[in-house]
Amino acid sequence: MERSLFVGIDVAKDSLDVHVRPTDEAWQVPNDPAGHAALAQRLATMPSVLIVLEATGGYEIAVVGALASAELAVVVANPRQIRAYARATGQLAKTDKLDARIIARFAEAVRPDVRALPTEQTRVLDEMVTRRRQLVEMLGAETNRRRMVRDRMLQQRLEAHIAWLKRAVRELDRDLETTIRSSALWRETDDLLRSVAGVGPVTIATMLAELPELGQLTRRKIAVLVGVAPMNRDSGQFRGRRTIAGGRPAVRRVLYMATVAAIRRNRVIRAFYQRLRSNGHLPKVALTAAMRKLLTILNAMVRDGRAWQEQIA
């Protein structure tokens, strides 16, 4: 759909600064239900509008929901992309009004694709997955501290906290299992992905929460989205080494662990990895390629609603 107006919204805790391109109309509304309703009503009168906001750690969720409910085209963009665009265009100063303007200019120049927004159920799952990741990071940090401490009293306190963290991770794993199995669609995807040797519950939960596009994009687009697609580094006669960049780090981390497990347990992925190694590819290069292949297989399985079949894979 051809867009004629591009709206940038800078989200703060208490306010929303709005800028429209190419008209350069600007205004501010409160970041509360009344402000969201007024904003949605005003934007709904504009023709062919594309609205872009930055992900701000949660302050944007309510307004995005209000705009999406009004059937407006909304994109939640990666702040890093917008900051890079601002630097490239020489916009170094930073205020809420300037941020709204640069987001609108970014929307006008880049025109990011509009994707389906996460449902309330998906947001809850995402929060649970994020909390599990935080607990695991704390558990690792506390375990490392326990190794360094010599005082017996501190050792006991650290051991008690480590035991609590382990219980919290186990309880959250049970909650994740219950949440996923309570949804018919997630339950079907869960059953499909569990049929792949090397893919476990944490990988599946993370993909359901943070990669809802799985099964909806081509293999190239899903690889770019996750950040496992090779990027060219060429200039003139120089041919640089291909590297991966960007994407969704949380998904890439669990995909890495799943691929390491699959190289041991999955004959297809193991044979693919070993073939690359025998052809002289470095272990890291071969592992990244195996990650991309595993992601491609999972994407096709969800797209086709087909469980793992070694011959097809």
Residues 130, 102, single domain; the answer is: no
Predicted confidence at residue 153, as pLDDT, reads: 94
The pLDDT value recorded for residue 58 is: 76
pLDDT in the model for residue 143: 96
When mean pLDDT is compared across 33-37, 67-71, 167-171, 203-207, the lowest value belongs to 67-71
Domain boundary among 83, 110, 137: 110
Highest mean pLDDT among 76-85, 91-100, 277-286: 277-286
- pLDDT at 101 exceeding the cut of 90: yes
pLDDT for res 19: 95
Whether the pLDDT of residue 131 is over 90: the answer is yes
In a domain, 172, yes or no: yes
Query: Is 309 among the domain residues?
Result: no
Co-location of 217 and 296 in the same domain: yes
Query: Is 134 in the same domain as 104?
Result: no
pTM: 0.72
The more confident residue out of 218 and 309 is 218
CATH number for the domain harbouring residue 44: 3.30.420.40
Q: Are 10 and 95 in the same domain?
A: yes
197 assigned to some structural domain: no
Range of 125's domain?
120-182
Handedness of CA 244, 278, 256, 229 (dihedral sign): positive
Residue 252 has pLDDT above 60, yes or no: yes
Residue 162 has pLDDT above 60, yes or no: yes
pLDDT computed for residue 256 by the predictor: 96
202 falls within a domain: no
Residue 238 has pLDDT above 70, yes or no: no
Shared domain for 236 and 259, answered yes or no, is yes
